[in-house]
Structure 1
Amino acid sequence: MSRSFEQYQKQKLISSYFSVVLSIALVLFLLGILGLLVVNTKKMADHFKEQITISIFLKDDAKESEAEQLQKTLAMAEHTKSVSYVSKEQAAEQHSAEIGEDFQDFLGYNPLKNSIDLKLRADFVTPEEIEKIAGGLSEKTFVEEVSYDKPLVGLLSENVKKISFWILVASGIFTFIAFLLINSSIRLSIYSKRFIIKTMQMVGATKTFIRKPFIWTNVKLGMLGAVIAMAALAASLFYLDKTFPELQLFGDIEMLALLFGSVFLLGILISLVCTYFATQRFLNLRTDALYY
């Protein structure tokens, strides 16, 4: 009978520990994903910004030397990500491939212009900076027109600011929710031992002595949950890097190390704080209140 009861208590304890570890791992994993999103928000925004192309259309009488000189000047400029020359013949081939037929057969000539495609570094992709660069290029005598998607530039800059703000807000809210969820799991775990806590207190054990094993046990559970969360986070990171290699998620190793370290320390810190206050609650509880 006693052996059966001990086995029941052991299974109950394992189940309690498992639920604590699982809740900590799940919450920390979601926090890690959110942290990964925060860390890479600028990188993702920069990636989309650097896809915007400024097309510099040259006049028909523009000299080849003038086009080459402009291309070299742009290549050396601090705002340039990449620059490439597109002849009118190349442009015609690309356009024909897009529409599925050769428009030159219908028109009888090629109306397109020789052009230089310019892509800027992300820091310069703002309505003001692009307008300034485009204005300077338009002043050149051999340039016919400078074209870019103005509405897209304005919309992209505005949305990046909004997304960054709301991600920070969501991070704060989710961190608070994570604390509540882990706290609830740990409190339920300690609740089952409330009679043991009160018995130890009644025989003269100090609060520090009573709290110590509970804190150490839950800190170890927090560490285990954090390790599981980090493993799941690493697997997700490898998957995302293979799916979206252009984002270069492993480009900043120091930032990733800081993120993983933060997840691990957060697992320890939240477990420690929650266990301290949970045990303190039962230590301060009257004996007759333990049954409610």
Structure 2
Amino acid sequence: MSSSFDKYQKKRLISSYFSVVLSTTLVLFLLGILGLLVLNTKKVADYYKEQVPMTIFFKNSAKDVEMQQLQKTLALADYTKSANFVSKDQAAVKLTDDIGEDFVAFLGENPLYNSLDVYLNSNFVSVEELEAIVKELSEKSFVNEVSYDKSLVSKLNANIKTIGFWILVACVFFAIVAALLINSSIRLSVYAKRFTIKTMQMVGATKGFIRKPFIWKSVKMGIIAAILALAGMAAMLYYANKSLPQLQLIDNKLLIGSVFAGILVIGILITLISSFFATQRYLNLRTDQLYT
């Protein structure tokens, strides 16, 4: 009979430890993913900003040397990521493919202009910066027009700020939820051993001596959970980088290492603090209060 009860208690304890590790792993994984997302928000935002072109249309009277010189000058400018020349013939072929009709044959001439598609560095993709660049380029005598999608740039910057803010809010929220869930799981595991705690105290064991094995056990579970969470994060980061290699998500090794180290430290600290206060609570209870 006693053996059956011992087996039942052992299974119950293992189940309690498993639930602690599982819940801790899940919240640490979610927290880690949010942390990576927060730290990579700027990189993702910069990538999409740098896909917005500013197009310079040349007058038909513009000389080849003038267009080539401007392209070289822009290539060296601080605000330029790349500058690609598009001849009027290339533009005509592309537009014909897009509309499915040879408009040049219909009109009898090519009405398009030679142009430069300029892609800017992300720091300069704002309406204020672009307007200043447009004004400067428009003053050149051989430039017919400089255009960009002003509404797209405005919405892109506004949406990036909004998304960044809510990601940060979500990260803080889930950090609090993580602490509460892990604390709850630890308290349940300590609750299952409350009679053992009180028995040790009654035979003269000091509070520090009693707390030590519980804290060490919780810290080990925190380390295991953190390692499992980090493995999940690494797998997700690998597949995300494989799907979107242009974002270069794994290039900044120091940043990724900092997030991984942070998750490990959080897993240890939360389990350590939670187990300390959970054992302290039962150490301060009277024997009759253990049944309530």
* Structure 1 and Structure 2 fold alike (TM over 0.5): yes
Distance 2:114 2:104 in 1: 16
Instruction: Output aligned runs, 1:205-284, within 5 Å.
Output: 205-284=205-284
Instruction: Output aligned runs, 1:48-127, within 5 Å.
Output: 48-127=48-127
Structure 1 equivalent of residue 129 of structure 2: 129
TM-aligned CA deviation for residue 270 of structure 1: 0.6
The answer to whether the aligner puts 1:37 opposite 2:11 as a matched pair is no
In structure 2, runs of 5+ residues without a counterpart are none
Provide, for residues 230-285 of structure 1, a one-character-per-residue CA deviation record: whole Å limited to 9, x for no partner: 00110001110111111101110100001111111111011001111111111112
Structure 1 equivalent of residue 177 of structure 2: 177
Distance 2:291 2:130 in 1: 70
Distance 2:263 2:102 in 1: 57
Q: Give the letter aligned to residue 186 of structure 1.
A: I
TM-aligned CA deviation for residue 161 of structure 1: 1.5
TM-aligned CA deviation for residue 109 of structure 1: 1.4
Distance 2:146 2:231 in 1: 50
SS in structure 1 at match of 2:175: helix
Structure 1 equivalent of residue 146 of structure 2: 146
Question: 2:82–2:120: 8 Å Cα contact kept in structure 1?
Answer: yes
Provide, for residues 82-141 of structure 1, a one-character-per-residue CA deviation record: whole Å limited to 9, x for no partner: 001000000011111111222212222111100001000001111111111111000000
Structure 2 equivalent of residue 23 of structure 1: 23
Q: Give the letter aligned to residue 210 of structure 2.
A: I
Distance 1:106 1:51 in 2: 33
Q: Give the letter aligned to residue 215 of structure 1.
A: I
In structure 1, runs of 5+ residues without a counterpart are none
Q: Give the letter aligned to residue 61 of structure 1.
A: S
What's the RMSD between the two structures over aligned residues? 0.9
Distance 2:28 2:98 in 1: 47
Distance 1:32 1:96 in 2: 48
Structure 2 equivalent of residue 166 of structure 1: 166
Q: Give the letter aligned to residue 109 of structure 1.
A: E
Provide, for residues 170-222 of structure 1, a one-character-per-residue CA deviation record: whole Å limited to 9, x for no partner: 11111001000001111111111111111111121111111100000010000
Structure 2 equivalent of residue 285 of structure 1: 285
Distance 2:137 2:285 in 1: 77
Distance 2:4 2:103 in 1: 86
Question: 2:13–2:192: 8 Å Cα contact kept in structure 1?
Answer: no
Q: Give the letter aligned to residue 78 of structure 2.
A: E
Number of positions where the alignment pairs a residue of Structure 1 with one of Structure 2: 292
TM-aligned CA deviation for residue 29 of structure 1: 0.4
Q: Give the letter aligned to residue 191 of structure 1.
A: Y
Distance 1:109 1:289 in 2: 95
Q: Give the letter aligned to residue 180 of structure 1.
A: L
SS in structure 1 at match of 2:226: helix
Distance 1:105 1:181 in 2: 70
Identity, in percent, stands at 61
